[in-house]
A = this chain, B = another copy of it.
Amino acid sequence: MNGLPRVVTIAWCLTDASARGPARRLSHAAITAAAIEVADDQGLGAVTMARVAQRLGFTTMALYRYVSTKAELLLLMADAAVALPDLKVERGEGASGLRRWADAVRDAHRAHPWLAEVPRASTSAMMPNSARMTDLALRALDGLPLTAPEKLATVLALSGLAAFYADVERSMAAEPTEAIDPDALAPFVGALAASCPDVAALTASGEFVNTTGADDSWVEQQYAFSVAALLAGLPSAAE
């Protein structure tokens, strides 16, 4: 037996404000917001206790009054980044609501491309915004012929797909993916032909390795296709 993770009580504001001593000049919200600014601007790798503190005009060590570890700060950032979008879901709406819900999750990841880089922690699900997002999805699933674990699996899988494709998009944007010179590609195609006939065929037709430069739409289509498949398959998976 043990208590709630400390960061959960922080995020839900379940901790009593300490009464004694000098007034606090920082706050979890301010620290989290500053860290998100850094991550949005320069990537998660640039999120440093020193850099966050500097942006707030404080010393690095001042942060440790509010956060006991950098991992805790990352959890706060991740939860703040999935703050509820403008999304209304009808109770029992089903597939159409879930599709819009997945799009909202994806939008959050697009707005904060570093989200997928934050190490997953089992605590995440108990954080307020994550819980609210889950709640919306469960609302859409209400009344459907699925067990509770099946509903949770649906929610997890959908958010997993949304996060996954958003991260694919991020990784493509990160490496500018200039078109690869066909001459440079030749030895690679040769190696492929030997052990990967099906991939080699796709590569030859230009559908595997991107030889034409940036190409945004296909990730969108693949995401839409995957979500559509998952949603369409729910009834038969439940049998």
Is B233 a contact partner of A228 (Cβ separation < 8 A)?
yes
The CA of A119 and the CA of B102, in the complex, are separated in Å by: 22
Q: Which of A16-72 contact B (CB under 8 A)?
A: none
Is A197 part of the binding interface, using a Cβ–Cβ cutoff of 8 Å? yes
Contact with B along A206-233 (1 / 0, CB 8 A): 0111000000001001110110111111
Contact partner of A171 among B120, B165, B218, CB < 8 A?
A: B120
Q: How far is the CB of A82 from chain B (nearest CB, A)?
A: 14
The CA of A153 and the CA of B165, in the complex, are separated in Å by: 10
The CA of A125 and the CA of B66, in the complex, are separated in Å by: 41
Q: Is the interface of A mostly helix, strand, loop or mixed?
A: helix
Give the one of A117, A163, A164, A177 with max B CB within 10 A.
Answer: A164
Give the one of A154, A165, A225 with max B CB within 10 A.
Answer: A225
Is A157 a contact partner of B226 (Cβ separation < 8 A)?
yes
Q: A229-B237, A234-B229 are in contact. Are A152 and B198 (CB under 8 A)?
A: no
Contact partner of A196 among B131, B163, B221, B230, CB < 8 A?
A: B131
| CB nearest to A136 among chain B residues | B198
Contact with B along A160-196 (1 / 0, CB 8 A): 1101110110111011011111001101100110011
Is A76 part of the binding interface, using a Cβ–Cβ cutoff of 8 Å? no
Q: List 30 A-B contacts (CB under 8 A).
A: A1-B180, A2-B179, A2-B180, A4-B180, A4-B188, A5-B175, A9-B187, A9-B188, A14-B187, A14-B191, A121-B174, A125-B208, A125-B209, A128-B191, A134-B198, A135-B198, A135-B199, A138-B199, A148-B205, A149-B207, A150-B225, A153-B226, A156-B164, A156-B226, A157-B225, A161-B161, A226-B237, A229-B229, A229-B237, A233-B236
Binding site for B on A (CB under 8 A): 1-5, 8-9, 12, 14, 116-117, 119-123, 125-126, 128, 131-132, 134-135, 138-139, 142, 148-150, 152-154, 156-157, 160-161, 163-165, 167-168, 170-172, 174-175, 177-181, 184-185, 187-188, 191-192, 195-199, 202, 205, 207-209, 218, 221-223, 225-226, 228-234, 236-238
* Known A1-B179, A132-B195, A229-B233; 5 more pairs at CB < 8 Å: A12-B191, A120-B171, A135-B199, A138-B198, A160-B165
